[in-house]
Amino acid sequence: MAEIVCAAAVPHAPALVGLYDRAPQDAREIITRSYRAVQQQIKQARPDVLIVFANDHLTNSRIRAYPDFLIAGAAEHRGPHEWFKPWIGCRDWQVPGEPLVAKALFRGMTRRKIRMNHADAPLHFDDNLSVPTVMMQLDEMALPVVPVLQNCTVPPYPDGPHCYAVGRALAEIIRDDLPPALRVGLLGSGGLSHEPGGARYYKIDEEFDRAFLDLCCQGDHGRLLKEMTAERMEIAGSGGTPELLAWFPVMAAIGECRGESFGYSGWVNFRCGFGAVLWDLRTQRKKAA
């Protein structure tokens, strides 16, 4: 039986890196504090592999043949893809993959009737993996990573209950399918409110963001599923905010745990709300909603 040893979720807006130096001091402090807390927890938990759920942003597949979940099964992942480098403003990075875990995940999801896709070849990564990687120096940890790129933006995309079911299956796969004693870290990457490419590109829904973070920290999954629907996310920022659905598989996999957030920034030039959550796995009340 493998075990989950840490779980967190963080935003990945490109401007968090590219405009970091121009951001107000309080915003920089919140960003630094948040990523550092998650980074420290990952280091302390010593996972053997980190499974990352993140929005694909139409970076790997045609819009006419778009997978809902694409498991990156390559032996190594590199980023950012060249066109995204100046946009994010971040350095190159590379992390080891974990092909056997990627295949086990694909096999396990399929057997549990959850449709996913799997790629052996290296995938393109934009801000989805690049921003968390450089902000937390994941590439300096010698930590194998299995990205699961999620459709959070091409309708009809998997909604909250679907993503939650993915997380429940993930918990089973970790418990029953992965090698015994394997230590697994989970990371959701995306959000908070934003509307990339939309008329509300500069609008951030702070009220929504704070409510979402509060619910994540409370670990009340019943309310989360009831109140934080894909439709509600679309209102908070169409085509962008729903990437918070990448947090759902993580939460469903760990069950109802309390979490900690490290502050919130709604600095408009980030074009995205910022706040992270680190869950305390010792506080689990029940397996899943």
Can you give the binding site for other proteins, defined by CB under 8 A? 14-15, 17-19, 22-23, 57-59, 62-64, 82-83, 86-89, 124, 153-155, 195-199, 201-202, 234, 238-240, 268-269, 271
How many CB atoms are located within 10 Å of the residue 268 CB?
11
Q: Which residue, 144 or 239, is less far from other proteins as judged by CB?
A: 239
CA–CA separation, 78 and 24 (whole Å) = 31
Q: Which residue, 86 or 179, is less far from other proteins as judged by CB?
A: 86
Least distance to other proteins from the beta carbon of 123, Å? 12
Q: Which residue, 151 or 261, is less far from other proteins as judged by CB?
A: 151
Contact 122, 75 (CB under 8 A): no
Buried/exposed 26-43: b ≥16 CB within 10 Å, e otherwise: ebbebbeebbebbbebbe
Question: Of 115, 118, 113, which Cα lies nearest the Cα of 101?
Answer: 118
Torsional class of 137: left (φ above 0), alpha (ψ -120 to 50), beta (otherwise): left
Question: Of 117, 119, 139, 142, which Cα lies nearest the Cα of 129?
Answer: 139
Torsion, Cα of 175, 106, 7, 160 (10° steps)? -110
Q: Which residue, 73 or 237, is less far from other proteins as judged by CB?
A: 237
Per the structure block, which two tokens stand in for 227? Answer: 């109140």
Least distance to other proteins from the beta carbon of 279, Å? 29
Q: Which residue, 47 or 191, is less far from other proteins as judged by CB?
A: 191
Per the structure block, which two tokens stand in for 23? Answer: 């951001």
CA–CA separation, 186 and 228 (whole Å) = 21
CA–CA separation, 140 and 142 (whole Å) = 6
Least distance to other proteins from the beta carbon of 186, Å? 26
Least distance to other proteins from the beta carbon of 135, Å? 14
Least distance to other proteins from the beta carbon of 201, Å? 5
Least distance to other proteins from the beta carbon of 17, Å? 7
Instruction: Report the DSSP beta bridge partners of residue 54.
Output: 149, 189
Q: Which residue, 154 or 211, is less far from other proteins as judged by CB?
A: 154
Q: Which residue, 39 or 153, is less far from other proteins as judged by CB?
A: 153
Least distance to other proteins from the beta carbon of 209, Å? 18
